[in-house]
């Protein structure tokens, strides 16, 4: 892990969605290590195990960690998670929206209509719904930070529906920042590039089968590396660090911005 800033989130209540694994879990671990009362939200039951491990690891830092299960693709699921988080701590200082990820990898003409819908539901609506659910509370307390996780894949091959969803996340960030600023609410985003991560315990979608599907996926890998000036994938820590920075008071004069974290690929 990159060097942490002890106490940077001391006393803060931070909700991290998509936190059972991948970037979301790395972010939750980072803010927990920096003293946050961290609420990990995911639809996978393993989020509870992940939260228990964080609570044990970072107890000395003064924070706590709790895992909640919710399907954030619906407003009811998102609102239920936010309501439960408020019941735990009475406030939410930071919401980090990390749910998303392309399900299929193929040229757009090969996507079935229902697959397009599922991609949008996976990578746009969880951010839209959780922002809507938390906003009245943050307006009421006249403070708060929302960090959305978009993607530089808005300019990428074989992921048009995912690109459209993440383009929507960037638009949410820009537009909601305008509405949030008068209430002391910052809304920012990162746009990760390709990121190395351990094998997922819960898969996003079917693995490529057959030579054609494998070739389509390899095109994504090749384009991702070629578009990066550093010619490599990033690490989970390299994604978690910028997200934690934007969520912290160190970024108090930043809102409406999308920070590309992709080795020089701006998307």
When pLDDT is cut at 50, 70 and 90, the band that residue 198 belongs to is confident
Q: Are 2 and 238 in contact (CB under 8 A)?
A: yes
Q: In this predicted structure, what is the pLDDT of residue 90?
A: 97
pLDDT in tens, 12-29: 999 999 999 999 999 999
pLDDT in tens, 77-92: 999 999 999 999 999 9
Tally of CA atoms within 13 A in the half-sphere of 133 that contains its CB = 27
Mean pLDDT, residues 106-134 taken together: 98
If one counts every other C-beta atom within 10 angstroms of the C-beta of residue 83, the result is 12
Burial 26-54 (b: 16+ CB within 10 A, else e): bbbbbbbbbbbbbbbbbbbeebbebbeeb
Task: Tell me the domain boundaries of the chain.
Answer: 13-261
Q: In this predicted structure, what is the pLDDT of residue 16?
A: 98
Q: In this predicted structure, what is the pLDDT of residue 82?
A: 98
- Which of 114, 116, 95 lies closest to 106, judged by CA? 116
Mean pLDDT of the chain: 95
Indicate the fold that domain 13-261 takes in CATH: Rossmann fold (3.40.50)
Check 111, 162, 217, 233 and give the catalytic one. Answer: 162
Mean pLDDT, residues 147-154 taken together: 98
pLDDT in tens, 37-79: 999 999 999 999 999 999 988 665 668 899 999 999 999 999 9
Active site residue 162: yes
First to last CA, the chain: 26
Mean pLDDT, residues 115-132 taken together: 98
Residues 6+ apart with CB under 8 A from 241: 2, 30
pLDDT in tens, 216-258: 999 999 999 999 999 999 999 999 999 999 999 999 999 999 9
């Amino acid at each position: 892990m990159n060097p942490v800033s002890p106490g940077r989130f001391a006393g803060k209540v931070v909700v991290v969605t998509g936190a059972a694994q991948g970037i979301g879990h790395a972010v939750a671990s980072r803010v927990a290590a920096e003293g946050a009362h961290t609420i990990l939200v995911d639809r996978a039951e393993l989020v509870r195990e992940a939260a228990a491990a964080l609570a044990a690891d970072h107890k000395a830092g003064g924070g706590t960690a709790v895992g909640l299960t919710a399907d954030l693709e619906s407003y009811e699921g998102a609102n239920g998670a936010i309501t439960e988080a408020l019941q735990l701590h009475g406030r939410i200082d930071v919401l980090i929206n990390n749910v998303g990820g392309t399900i299929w990898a193929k040229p757009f003409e090969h996507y079935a209509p229902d697959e397009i819908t599922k991609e949008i539901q996976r990578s746009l609506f969880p951010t839209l719904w959780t922002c809507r659910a938390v906003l009245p509370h943050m307006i009421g307390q006249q403070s708060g930070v929302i960090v959305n996780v978009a993607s530089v894949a808005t300019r990428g091959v074989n992921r048009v529906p995912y690109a459209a969803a993440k383009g929507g996340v960037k638009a949410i960030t820009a537009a909601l920042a305008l509405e949030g600023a008068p209430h002391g609410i910052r809304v920012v985003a990162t746009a990760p590039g390709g990121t190395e991560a351990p094998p997922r315990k819960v898969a996003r979608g079917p693995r490529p089968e057959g030579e054609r599907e494998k070739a389509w996926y390899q095109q994504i890998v090749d384009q991702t590396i070629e578009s990066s000036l550093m010619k490599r994938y990033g690490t989970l820590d390299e994604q978690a660090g910028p997200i934690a920075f934007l969520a912290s008071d160190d970024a108090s004069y930043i809102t409406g911005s999308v920070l590309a974290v992709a080795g020089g690929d701006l998307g």
